[in-house]
Every structure is written in structure tokens, then in C-alpha cells.
Amino acid sequence: MEAAALRPYVDQLAHKSVATYVERYKFKPRETVTVELYPNHDDFAVRVAGLPGIGLLGVTFGYLVAMDSPSGRASGDFHWGSTLWHEMAHVFTLEATDHRVPRWLSEGISVFEEWRTGPTPGVTVTPDVFKAYNEGHFLKVEDLDSGFIRPSYPNQVQISYMQAGLTCLFIEQRFGFDHLVSFLYEFKKETTVGAAVKSSLKVSAADFDKDFDAFFKQRYAALLPHMDEWQRNYKAAYEAAEAKNWSAVVDSARKAIAMYGEYVGDGSPFLLLAKAYKELKQIPQALQTLLDYRQAGGWDPDALRELARDLQSAGRGGEALDVLLAVNYSDPLREESHASLGDALLAAQRPQDAEREYRTLLALDTHDKATAYLGIARSLRSLGDHAGSKRNVLQALETAPYFRDAQKLLLEMADERE
């Protein structure tokens, strides 16, 4: 059931990622990439590590990608689309360098591509990264691998993912994206990180570290010296929300966002601010806040569904459709979402996409199969497949003989033949 429901989205995203990475990294895979999704997390863990209980979301072995499926995690805990995009980047960095690429650079490029080209673009850095930096835990570029393979403090692996991604972002902004690619290709041969930095970026590793530090301080100048103040504003916004003091929520949440607009994780100030604006009947401000949240990389499925409803109410149906389609990459197994999305796509004259949503409904074994068959019939009719349309409308009537909408469509087909 889940495999059939997910297949069109996995195929679409995997093919898009391959096309994107071929263009960006100038490497064409020499073999077909196999993608395996596991609805049971422990099955995935045993597949990749031989034992249950590991905390990974996905693993890449050359041309094989294995990962959790959406049902392997609770709704809202896992953006499977970003995970697949991340893992597909590993296929390219590993194979383009014959697996010589350092762990940190492969992970860094995958994180960087999530931010730059993935299904939820936006640089998203978690608060513990800034705490680690302020405590002197950031590593020099020549030692970044140790954060992954020899962590020395709790959560260092996760911190290292972020530092590696930020390092790639720094290379792009300081030297240009082409230099990130040339840096990667230095590892097609046996070399060291220091030598690769010198050869491709024309600076010493020591100067690279100095410049990266300056880049990080400048990018987060509003936050790094004021983490305590951000925490106070963040806490004040929550306490005000609990007290239903919505004006105070607006004041504190806006201050928190101004200091740190990249925090879109659980309990993001963006979501507090949007709720406060709604309670204060400031609907345009609430809508813009949710748009800003999505622009920053926020993807909570309930928040995006709310954003889609607000866009629809504002007469911005095309944008609402884009938001609902994006939800499929985080929460694709909710029946009602596919039904409403199929109807909206048909109304927008996008029958091919609508057909996919109705077929997904059938794959999810919906109780309302008649409506799904009717949706497929309408989609195929718009695409000019009248025989397929008739088969599906008859299937709808076989499922629900008195389904008036299906009867009406069948009569319309009969009239057209005459």
C-alpha cells in the first residue's frame, strides 16, 4: 500500500535530484541508483548497520540509498523529501571521487544542497550550533572529520553536520560555487584537506579557518553575542502565548526572529507570531509570517496546510497549490490531503497532477474509492483519454451505484458520443 502511494513522489524527486546534481557537479552516474524506503525503522537500521536502534534517517552505499519511509516516523518529525535529496547528493560526492571524499565534505555538501536546491530550501541552523561555537567547539577544516568519527562531547556529530554545511556555504559565498566543485574534485586523487584547500582555493588551511570564522561571526552577528537575550525573548513569547497575551507574543516573537530568523524547528517563533496575529485579527500579517516561515525553510505539515488555507482565502490559489504539493514531501500518507489536492489541481487545469493524487488515494486504500475513481475519470477526460475515463467512471458506479456525480459524468459522455 505505502509503496504504491509513495512511488510517484519518490520517482519524481529522485529524478529531479539526479538532473540537478549532474548539472551542478558535472558527474553522470555510471549505474542506476536504487532507492529503498523502509516503513519500519528497525528494519532500515538492520539493513544498513546490522542492528536495530540507530538514530540515522538514511544511508548511501555508492549507488544504493536506504532510508526511513514517512511511516517510519511520526508526522512532523521527518521530512523524507529532504532526506532523499541529502542522500542522493552522497551518490555524487562518493562516486565522483571514487569514495575518497572526506566524510565531512560529503556530509557538508549534502547539507548545503538541502539548503540550496532541496525541497525545503533555506539555511536552517539549530541553536546548539551557536552554543558549541561560543564554547570553542568548532573544529578547524583539517580536523572536521573527527567531529563525525571521534566525537568528544554529546551531540558533536549533529553539530559537525551543521559546521560542514556552513563550511560549504562559506566556500560558495567567498570563492564561488565552481570552487566548491573543484575542491570536491581534488579528492579524486590521494590528497589531504590542507593540500586540497591550497590547490583549489589558493589559501592556506590556517587562512581558510580565519576567514570562515569571520564569515560565521558576520552572518550571525545579531545572535552570537546575544544568545541569552534571544533565549529570553523566545521564552517570553511562549509564556505570553500561554497567558493569551497576544500583543506581548508579537513583541517578543518579532525580537526573537530579528535576532535569529533561521530557527524554524519545533516551537519556532514564526509559528507563535502567526498565531498571535490571527488572534489579534491581523490576518495579512499572519499570512506573511507563515510565508516568511516557509521561505526560511520551515516545513511543519500542519503549519503549511494552514498557510495553504490562508492563501486560498486571500485569492492566491496558485501559491496555495504549491504549498500543498510541498506537504507531500513531509506528510504524504494523509488521505484527505490527496482528495482536496486532486480537486484543486483539476480546478487549476492540471489533470496529470490531479490523476496522480487520486491514484495515491486508491493506493492508500481509501474508504471513499468511488470519489477517487471519479477523480481519475475526470482527470483522464481532461487529458483526452476517453476510454480510460469511461472505465474509471464505471468503476466508481460499480463501487457506489447511486453516486450522482458519477452518473452525471457518464451521461455527459453518452451525450458527447451522440
Does residue 111 fall inside a structural domain? Answer: no
pLDDT in tens, 118-157: 999 999 999 999 999 999 999 999 999 999 999 999 999 9
Q: How many other CB atoms are found less than 10 A from the CB of residue 393?
A: 27
pLDDT digits (tens, 9 = 90+) for 305-358: 999 999 999 999 999 999 999 999 999 998 888 998 999 999 999 999 999 999
| 341 inside domain | no
Residues 396 and 365 in one domain: yes
The total number of structural domains that make up the chain: 4
What local confidence, expressed as pLDDT, does residue 414 receive? 82
State how far the Cα of 345 lies from the Cα of 383, in Å rounded to an integer.
13
**Which phi-psi region, left, alpha or beta, contains residue 287 (left: φ > 0; alpha: ψ -120 to 50)?**
alpha
Same domain (yes/no): 233, 318: yes
Domain assignment present for 298: yes
> CA–CA separation, 5 vs 333, rounded Å?
8
Give the residue from 179, 203, 221 where a domain finishes.
Answer: 221
316 & 236 share domain: yes
The b-or-e profile of 274-286 (16+ CB within 10 A means b, else e) is bbbbbbeeeeeeb
- pTM of the shown model: 0.94
The predicted pLDDT at position 81 comes to: 96
Q: Are residues 184 and 235 in the same domain?
A: no
Q: Which three cell numbers stand for residue 100?
A: 575518497
Per-residue pLDDT of the chain (418 residues; tens, 9 = 90+): 789 999 999 999 999 999 999 999 999 999 999 999 999 988 998 988 887 777 789 999 999 999 999 988 777 788 999 999 999 999 999 999 999 999 999 999 999 999 999 999 999 999 999 999 999 999 999 999 999 999 999 999 999 999 999 999 999 999 999 999 999 999 999 999 999 999 999 999 999 999 999 999 999 999 999 999 999 999 999 999 999 999 999 999 999 999 999 999 888 999 999 999 999 999 999 999 999 999 999 999 999 999 999 999 999 999 999 999 999 999 999 888 899 899 999 999 999 999 999 999 999 999 999 999 999 999 999 999 999 999 999 999 999 999 999 999 999 888 776 5
* Inside any domain, residue 286: yes
Based on the fold, state whether residues 4 and 64 are members of the same structural domain: yes
Q: Are 347 and 322 within 8 A, CB to CB? A: no
β-bridge partners, 36: 66
Domain C-terminal end among 305, 333, 361: 333
372: in domain: yes
CATH number at residue 78: 3.30.2010
Q: What is the DSSP letter of 148?
A: H
213-238 per-position pLDDT tens digit: 999 999 999 999 999 999 999 999 99
Instruction: To the nearest 10°, report the CA torsion of 46, 51, 56, 59.
Output: -50
- 327 with 230, same domain: the answer is yes
Question: Would you state the pLDDT for residue 417?
Answer: 64
Whether 217 and 274 share a structural domain = no
Of 333, 365, 390, the residue at which a domain comes to its end is 333
Strand 34-38 versus strand 64-68 pairing type: parallel
- Can you give the residue range of the structural domain that contains 418? 350-418
Are residue 250 and residue 298 in the same domain, yes or no? yes
Q: Are residues 207 and 230 in the same domain?
A: no
Sign of CA dihedral 85, 91, 94, 95: negative
345 in any annotated domain: no
Co-location of 313 and 355 in the same domain: no
Residues 6 or more apart from 402 whose CB is under 8 A from it? none
CATH, residue 354: 1.25.40.10
Same structural domain, 234 and 200: no
Instruction: Indicate whether 21 and 89 sit together in one domain.
Output: yes
Residue whose C-alpha is closest to residue 162's, from 102, 120, 112, 94 = 112
